[in-house]
Homo-oligomer: A and B are copies of this chain.
Amino acid sequence: MAGFVRPAHPEGDSRPRDGCGVFAVFGHVDASAHTALGLHALQHRGQESAGIVSYDNGHFNTHRSLGLVGDIFSSPNVMDRLTGNAAVGHVRYSTTGGTVLRNVQPLFAEFSFGGLAIAHNGNFTNGYSLRRELVKRGSIFQSTTDTEVLIHLMATSSYHAVEDRMIDALRQIEGAYSIVAMTNDTVFGVRDPLGVRPLVIGVLDDSAVLASETCALDIIGAEFVRDVRPGELVVIDAEGLHSVSPFPAARHRFCVFEYIYFARPDSVVEGAGVYEIRKRIGAELAREAPVAADVVVPVPDSGTPAAMGYASEAQIAFDLGITRNHYIGRTFIEPTDQIRHLGVRLKHNANRASIAGRRIVLVDDSIVRGTTSTKIVEMMREAGAAEVHMRIASPPIADSCYYGVDTPEKEKLLASRLNVEEIATAIGVDSLAYLSIDGLYRATAGANRNDEAPQFCDACLSGDYPIRLIDQEDGDIPTQLSLLMEQV
Interface, chain A (partner B; CB < 8 A): 29-30, 33-34, 36-37, 40-41, 43-44, 47, 53, 58-64, 67-76, 78-79, 81, 108-112, 114-115, 132, 135-142, 151-152, 155-157, 215, 218-221, 264-266, 268, 273, 275-276, 301, 304-305, 308, 318-320, 322-323, 325-333, 335-336, 338-339, 342-346, 349-354, 480, 482-487
Contacts and interface: CB of A to CB of B under 8 A. Distances in A.
A266 B352 contact: yes
A30 B323 contact: no
A135 B114 contact: no
A275 B485 contact: no
Given A344-B37, A344-B219, A112 B136 contact: yes
A283 to B, nearest CB: 14
A interface SS class: mixed
Nearest to A276: B353
Given A37-B344, A138-B157, A219-B345, 4 more contacts: A63-B487, A69-B327, A70-B328, A264-B349
Contact of A335 (B30, B219, B326): B30
A40 B348 CA distance: 12
Nearest to A133: B112
A71 B327 CA distance: 10
Contact of A266 (B40, B41, B59, B323): B323
Given A36-B335, A62-B484, A323-B215, A330 B74 contact: yes
5 contacts: A47-B327, A69-B332, A115-B483, A273-B354, A308-B319
A37 B335 CA distance: 10
B139 A142 contact: no
Contact of A220 (B34, B342, B350): B342
Contact of A332 (B40, B53, B318, B322): B40
Contacts of A342: 220-221
B59 A264 contact: no
Max count, chain B CB within 10 A of own CB: residue among A140, A305, A338: A140
Nearest to A321: B275
Given A320-B305, A327-B47, A330-B74, A338 B486 contact: no
A159 to B, nearest CB: 12
A138 B112 CA distance: 8
Contacts of A72: 329
A304 B264 CA distance: 19
Contacts of A34: 339
A301 B300 CA distance: 12
Complex A-B, nearest 8 residue pairs according to Cβ-Cβ distance, in ascending order: A70-B329, A138-B156, A273-B353, A33-B335, A266-B323, A43-B327, A115-B483, A138-B155
Contacts of A482: 110
